[in-house]
A = this chain, B = another copy of it.
Amino acid sequence: MNDVNIYETDELVSQYCDFQYGEDIFGVENFAKVCAQKAIGYSKCTQQGKALDIGCATGRASFELTKVFDHVDGIDYSQTFIDTALELQKNGRILYAQNREGELKSSILVDMTMYSFRDSCIKARFFQGDACNLESQFNGYDLIMATNLIDRLYEPQLFLNTIHERVTNGGILLLTSPYTWREEYTAKEFWIGGYTDENGDEILALEGLKQLLEENFDLLATEEVPFVIRETSRKFQHTISQMSVWRRR
């Protein structure tokens, strides 16, 4: 087992390690684990061969999916996130710095032997990639999950308009998002919802998703899934993500 260097993990990676591997906060269960479990449940009606976790961050949901799927690809825009997932897979552990107060931090160990995917995790492969410009090799998936991704893409339509080409017939597309549209991530013209259209109707994101996806998918279910991200020992982001589950026709 190689040495781990806490200073390799930058602020955002540490925050996501805590989000994906840290302890539950306010009684809210680990979001990546819950999403993977729900994805496994919804995909029981189809094959569970190949899965894609797009926007996988530090890989927790990808690892969870390896317990059931034969093969899991995890893709993230951030090479640092991908490096962290790969380090966990290779070294079996990582240290991250959890913010407490001001400059004070705690060093937290993630130990892969503590998880039920400790043996299956080798089935995951991780790649840096852009959800809006995905390489053609990424296709033939029985499940694609994209958690808290679409409101951070520069043009989510590029992802959503072509994603059906990568899902097998009867396969599942599982999206979650709190729809926190911000111009620094997504120009207003590309927001899926959160605006008033030319007829004066308010368009919420679920309506916008239907307009983009219903040609190729049936909407199976929606669920509200909470998550909590620690900023300090006293300050947290507490968010309710909307999960929408789509089956490829």
Contacts and interface: CB of A to CB of B under 8 A. Distances in A.
Interface of A: 26, 100-104, 178-181, 188, 191, 193-196, 202, 204-205, 228, 231-232, 234-242
The 7 closest A-B pairs by CB, nearest first: A102-B194, A238-B238, A101-B194, A102-B181, A178-B234, A234-B240, A236-B238
A119 to B, nearest CB: 36
B104 A202 contact: yes
Stoichiometry (number of copies): 2
Contacts of A205: 101
A204 to B, nearest CB: 6
A117 B179 CA distance: 38
B196 A103 contact: yes
A195 B104 contact: yes
B194 A103 contact: yes
Contacts of A228: 238
Contacts of A236: 237-239
A238 B241 contact: no
A196 B242 CA distance: 41
A235 B195 contact: no
Contacts of A196: 103-104
B239 A179 contact: no
B238 A101 contact: no
Contact of A234 (B180, B231, B234): B180
B102 A191 contact: yes
Nearest to A103: B195
A179 B101 contact: yes
Contacts of A232: 178-180
A21 B103 CA distance: 34
8 contacts: A26-B238, A100-B194, A101-B193, A104-B195, A178-B234, A180-B235, A235-B239, A236-B238
A193 B102 contact: yes
A104 B104 CA distance: 39
Contacts of A235: 178, 180, 237, 239-240
Contacts of A195: 102-104
A196 B101 CA distance: 11
B237 A241 contact: no
Contacts of A178: 232, 234-235
Given A101-B194, A101-B204, A235-B240, 11 more contacts: A101-B193, A102-B195, A103-B188, A104-B202, A104-B204, A178-B234, A178-B235, A179-B234, A234-B239, A235-B237, A236-B238
